[in-house]
């Protein structure tokens, strides 16, 4: 469903999509297999052995990994300010989530969730997959591969008859996951990574536990304890430190060192995703 929604958006917005070529299918399969398929399996299995807070704390460590590995894979050195911000955001997320109870199996699945969450971003960065296909293209291809992988896995583990046991609640939950958690979220996330880099984008994962706490209260849950509010303020401080950093992204080559080809400086052009952008001087 998510893939069809994304395809419909591409058609409506007249954004061209490219077919994967060369090593693209391998990298896209890696993104899908870790960040979509195994990640969700780990969430489900981990919830059987650990409280949600344990899984949340594991995911809370992702900003530090992206702050270090993201710039390196983009050909840049990690910025000290982003590293500091990632540590602050992670601390705040841990305060919001708490530690929770678990067993050895829960710790294992939490570690798998952590690795898959990081791989979902990092496997799209080191090769020109995101640059060539754009946020929409990567989202379309990963959701298409995910549907195939989940289909095969579902038939092998639960059997074809499992679909007959779906309830109305299951279908409504699936629709919510397809539209917001997959189609919209994938497109927004990869657009963010392409726009500000993996290191700074990783800081935004610290918003997830805050959103969960606020949503819990809105749905009738208890008001969070004071330590949770301290964690919220800590995450906000980390975001202010990192997002406010005007990190210079690699610009185009010096025009004085090679002949200029194409439109004049400042002339609008369309990039690979169909979005009109302006050429930036080095």
State pLDDT tens for residues 113-145.
Answer: 989 989 888 888 766 788 889 999 999 999 999
30-59 pLDDT, tens digit per residue, is: 999 999 999 999 988 988 887 777 777 777
**118 falls within a domain:** yes
**18 falls within a domain:** yes
**167 falls within a domain:** no
- What is the tally of structural domains in the chain? 1
**272 falls within a domain:** no
**231 falls within a domain:** yes
Q: Are 135 and 187 in contact (CB under 8 A)?
A: yes
- Residue 276 banded pLDDT, cuts 50, 70, 90: very low
Total-model pTM: 0.74
63-107 pLDDT, tens digit per residue, is: 888 888 888 877 778 888 888 888 888 888 877 777 667 788 888
**143 falls within a domain:** yes
140-173 pLDDT, tens digit per residue, is: 999 999 999 999 999 999 998 988 999 999 999 9
**278 falls within a domain:** no
Q: Are 281 and 273 in contact (CB under 8 A)?
A: no
Q: How far apart are CA 202 and CA 211, in angstroms?
A: 16
**253 falls within a domain:** no
Phi, psi of 270 (to 5 degrees): -105, 130
Question: Which residues constitute the domain of residue 35?
Answer: 2-160+172-246
């Amino acid at each position: 469903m998510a893939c069809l929604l994304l395809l419909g958006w591409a058609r409506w917005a007249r954004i061209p999509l490219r077919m994967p070529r060369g090593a693209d299918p391998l990298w896209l399969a890696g993104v899908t297999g870790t960040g979509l398929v195994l990640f969700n399996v780990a969430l489900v299995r981990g919830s059987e052995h650990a409280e949600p807070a344990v899984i949340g704390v594991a995911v809370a460590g992702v900003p530090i990994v992206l702050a270090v590995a993201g710039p390196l894979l983009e050909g840049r050195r990690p910025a000290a300010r982003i590293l500091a911000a990632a540590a602050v955001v992670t601390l705040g997320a841990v305060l919001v989530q708490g530690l929770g109870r678990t067993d050895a199996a829960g710790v294992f699945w939490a570690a798998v969730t952590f690795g898959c969450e990081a791989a979902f971003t990092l496997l799209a960065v080191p090769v020109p997959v995101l640059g060539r296909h754009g946020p929409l293209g990567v989202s379309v291809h990963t959701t298409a591969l995910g549907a195939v992988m989940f289909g095969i896995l579902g038939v092998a583990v639960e059997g074809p008859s499992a679909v007959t046991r779906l309830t109305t609640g299951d279908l409504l939950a699936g629709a919510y996951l397809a539209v917001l958690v997959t189609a919209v979220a994938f497109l927004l996330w990869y657009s963010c990574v392409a726009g500000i880099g993996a290191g700074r984008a990783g800081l935004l994962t610290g918003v997830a536990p805050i959103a969960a706490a606020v949503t819990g209260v809105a749905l009738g849950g208890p008001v969070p304890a004071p330590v949770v509010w301290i964690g919220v303020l800590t995450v906000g401080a980390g975001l202010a430190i990192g997002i406010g950093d005007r990190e210079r992204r690699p610009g185009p080559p010096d025009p004085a060192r090679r002949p200029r080809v194409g439109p004049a400086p400042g002339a609008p052009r369309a990039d690979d995703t169909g979005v009109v952008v302006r050429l930036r001087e080095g």
